[in-house]
Amino acid sequence: MGFKPLRVAIGVPVLLAAWGGFALVNAGQAGASPMPGTARSQGQRLIFEAGDSTVNNITVTRDAGTGAWFLTDAGNTFSIAPTSDGNCFKHDSDTVRCAGGLTIIEVRLADGNDSFHTGITGATTIVHGSDGDDVI
């Protein structure tokens, strides 16, 4: 039997009983504020990690003329992680642009009813779904 991770937000106390013991956890308010996602490049890999409490609508496209890659999370702002190697940068508030040469696009969705769309070829695409009714 597998276990799902317990997601707990901060704010409201919750009493949990497990294995005969009790633990007091400071749990959060329902409807927590959306957390922005992050994008980073590592060599020839672009990695996007969605933030919690955000419904993500991810689209990956490629400019045939320049070879640049674009990852858009429509309507959601996100940041470039400080660990990024500089191959990718913010194109606008909800899009990251990466120079050509990517061979792997990895998207890690979080909670929420997220979606992922692409019609690209030329790179391996890895998409991780999570809680919610994701469309991949």
- Mean pLDDT of the region 28-53: 81
Task: Indicate the number of domains in the chain.
Answer: 1
Decide which of 90 and 5 is more confident: 90
Domain assignment present for residue 135? The answer is no
- Read off the pLDDT of each residue in 41-55 and give the average, rounded to a whole number: 91
27 vs 82: CA distance, rounded Å:
29
Higher pLDDT, 75 or 18: 75
Residue 114 lies in a domain: yes
Pairing of strands 88-92, 69-73: unpaired
DSSP state of 131: S
Domain with 92 in it: 37-128
Q: Is residue 6 part of a domain?
A: no
In-domain check, residue 24: no
Instruction: Yes or no: say if 116 and 132 are a contact pair by the CB < 8 Å rule.
Output: no
Is the residue at 25 inside a domain? no
User: What DSSP string describes 103-119?
Assistant: -EEEEE--SSS-EEEE-
- Residue 86 included in any domain: yes
Rounded to two decimals, the pTM is: 0.72
Nearest to 87 by CA among 43, 47, 48, 122: 43
